[in-house]
Amino acid sequence: MKTIIRASLALAALLASATVSADWSANVGWASEYHFRGIFQKNSSASGGVDFEQNGFYVGTWAADVGDGLEVDGYFGYGGEFEDFGYSIGFTGYYYTGDFDDTYQEINLGGSYGPLAVDVAIGEYENFDGPTQDYTFTSVTLEGNGFYGTFGTFSQDFDGDYVELGYGTSFSEVDIGIALILANDDLIEDEDETLVFTIGKSFDLD
């Protein structure tokens, strides 16, 4: 299965690069603490990525410093709108150049209506030398005027949930944000409250 998924990702990237009319963009960023789905990854983490999008189809890659090497993500999918509803379906793979963590691969489903968005990830974790683990991650986000609140929860072989409350804005084409992350002890083995600052910038490569 992993070979098929990686081949599909490579094929999507190849087709994207061969398209004449393409919307290419890049991004760079920094976070005072890198947290993903409520779980701490690293203090002071830099990141960057490249994306392609056309007619709702997208493919891209993103990497972040996790201390012991890099986290390198690859993803592709499709998103669109039907009247007032938004929807998306895609795939994301999380790979690591060091021993920080092992591979995650997941199918991503999303839906939105106005300020409300629901996202579901159905995934598989290779888990080093242990048994492969299955997980489902579900999040609900409400946003407006730059403010947002997210509740996320894991099920199946993973457990735990978190709440993230934040605000983001742009100043001189630079994106800045602040977020309070509240994770429970099922998720990180100890209840935690973290204030995170982020800064980033996107670039149109066309």
pLDDT tens per residue across span 90-116: 999 999 999 999 999 999 999 999 999
Predicted confidence (pLDDT) at residue 18 exceeds the cutoff of 80: no
Q: How many angstroms from the chain centroid is the CA of residue 23?
A: 20
* Domain range for 164: 2-204
Number of domains within the chain: 1
CA atoms within 13 A on the CB side of 149: 2
Report pLDDT digits (tens) over 154-183: 999 999 999 999 999 999 999 999 999 999
pLDDT, mean of residues 20-28: 83
- Per-residue pLDDT, 113: 98
Which CATH number goes with the domain that contains 30?
2.40.160.160
Q: How far apart are CA 48 and CA 22, in angstroms?
A: 20
Pair 63, 49: CB distance under 8 Å: yes
* Residue given tokens 């409250």 in the structure block: 193
Phi first, then psi: give them for residue 12, nearest 5 degrees: -65, -40
Q: How confident is the model at residue 14 (pLDDT cuts 50, 70, 90)?
A: very low
**Model confidence at 21, in pLDDT bands (50, 70, 90)?**
low
CB 32 within 8 A of CB 55: no
**pLDDT tens sequence across 38-88:** 999 999 999 999 999 999 999 999 999 999 999 999 999 999 999 999 999
DSSP code, position 56: T
What pTM did the predictor assign?
0.88
3-state secondary structure at position 6: helix
How far apart, in Å, are the Cα atoms of 181 and each of 120, 141, 162, 190? 19, 14, 7, 13
- Whether the per-residue pLDDT at 8 is higher than 50: the answer is no
Q: How far apart are CA 140 and CA 162, in angstroms?
A: 11
Do 105 and 129 contact (CB within 8 A), yes or no?
no
Q: Which of 20-24, 26-30, 54-58 has the lowest mean pLDDT?
A: 20-24
Q: How confident is the model at residue 190 (pLDDT cuts 50, 70, 90)?
A: low
Residue 120: pLDDT band with limits 50, 70, 90: very high
Q: pLDDT-based confidence at 12, cuts 50/70/90?
A: very low
Locate tokens 């080093």: which residue? 128
Contacts with 3 (C-beta within 8 Å, 6 or more apart), sequence order: none
Question: 3-state DSSP: the chain helix, strand, coil percent, rounded to 5?
Answer: 10, 70, 20
Distances (CA, A) of 10 to 18, 77, 110: 12, 13, 23
